[in-house]
Amino acid sequence: RTPHLAVVGATGAVGSVLLGLLSEHADIWGEIRLIASPRSAGRKLTVRGEEVEVVALTEDVFDGIDVAMFDVPDEISARWAPVAVAKGAVVVDNSGAFRMDPDVPLVVPEVNACAARVRPRGIIAVPNCTTLSMIVALGALHAEYGLRELVVSSYQAVSGAGQAGIETLRAQLSAVSGTELGTTPGDVRRAVGDTLGPFAAPVALNVVPWAGSLVPDDGWSSEELKIRNESRKILGLPDLRVSATCVRVPVLTGHSASVHARFEREVTVAGAHEILAAAPGVVLCDDPAEGEFPTPCDVVGTDPTWVGRVRRSLDDPRGLELFVCGDNLRKGAALNTVQVGELVVGENSSL
């Protein structure tokens, strides 16, 4: 029979992108049940051109559901994903609750689709958006050259911090627009006042070298460790050397990263171009002489990982420098979730 889908967290920033994707993609689903907190129950949202009423998250909402896509905070997923599994659903979870669980595969279909088949807990995890902004391109290069080390600096959009992040940047931009702020220490900070929202410093007219929470004692942020741990798990490289610095920038949507990747074999720019141009889910946009390189304002709303500024490291024939950009709400979250759900349905034998 046609599989039934539940979307848990349907009203959030990622949830609304997810409903748009379900409306655009081939319609493989029977019922699509929209689930959210009791506060949002009763709201009507449009999916596949039809209005659907949002229902509150309870045990009964998973009755008859084959696949449940979760986009909710970690603690909600931790509590409710096992409930959905107990009711017979395969859960595709976009939170951090299960990503590093050895019994939960962490899946990016272009890179490790086959990992989705082995899911002892009935849960498949989707990586964090920052990892997803680069891993499709790196997976393709790894298959040819053998990845050994990554040094990453991210440039993360405010929508990575949800609706609150978007509202904060908008409020701060209004507070500073038309002024001559940004010329003396503290002037922007005073202008934005207490509208820091989820950020550690003003994000308008600024960059903030912090995303996520402090990992006790060592100075790394949770976001930086996610890049390391998730890249290792997805690529099946438990000893991959990874150093990341995560930075929040005044962009609404579209995460970018500057990546230094070191490989087992020598690399060439022509070879890397050929691999990236042929890689599913990647668009090569690399002609700096013509001003062509990806930027978040050009890639927002699109599905692929965009790659430009490909250079062989000047002092290392095994090193490549790249700049990658992707929509953090689409491939970085909703699209990968939908793709994994479609993968599960495609297995058809093991729903």
Residue among 142, 246, 255, 325 flagged as catalytic: 255
- Contacting residue, 34, 124, 161, 324, with ligand 2RA by CB under 6 A: 161
CA distance 351 to 119: 11
160 scored as a contact of ligand 2RA (CB under 6 A) = yes
Q: Does 40 carry a binding-site annotation?
A: yes
Pairing of strands 90-93, 147-156: unpaired
DSSP-derived letter for residue 121 is: T
Q: Using an 8 Å Cβ cutoff, are 115 and 107 in contact?
A: yes
Return the number of the residue (137 or 244) whose C-beta is nearest ligand 2RA.
244
156 scored as a contact of ligand 2RA (CB under 6 A) = yes
Return the number of the residue (141 or 166) whose C-beta is nearest ligand 2RA.
166
Residue among 4, 129, 142, 325 flagged as catalytic: 129
95 scored as a contact of ligand 2RA (CB under 6 A) = no
* Binding map of ligand 2RA across residues 164-203, x = CB under 6 A, - = no contact: ----------------------------------------
3 state DSSP class of 280: coil
CA dihedral over 264, 225, 163, 104, signed as positive or negative: positive
3 state DSSP class of 56: strand
Q: Using an 8 Å Cβ cutoff, are 94 and 70 in contact?
A: yes
**Active-site residue flag, 4:** no
Angle, alpha carbons 33-34-35 (nearest 5°): 115
Q: How far is the CB of 3 from ligand 2RA (least distance, A)?
A: 27
Q: Using an 8 Å Cβ cutoff, are 35 and 57 in contact?
A: yes
**Active-site residue flag, 255:** yes
Sequence ranges of the binding site? 11-14, 39-40, 99, 156, 159-160, 248, 328
Mind telling me the catalytic residues? 129, 255
Report the interface residues with ligand 2RA, using CB under 6 A: 128-130, 156, 160-161, 211, 223
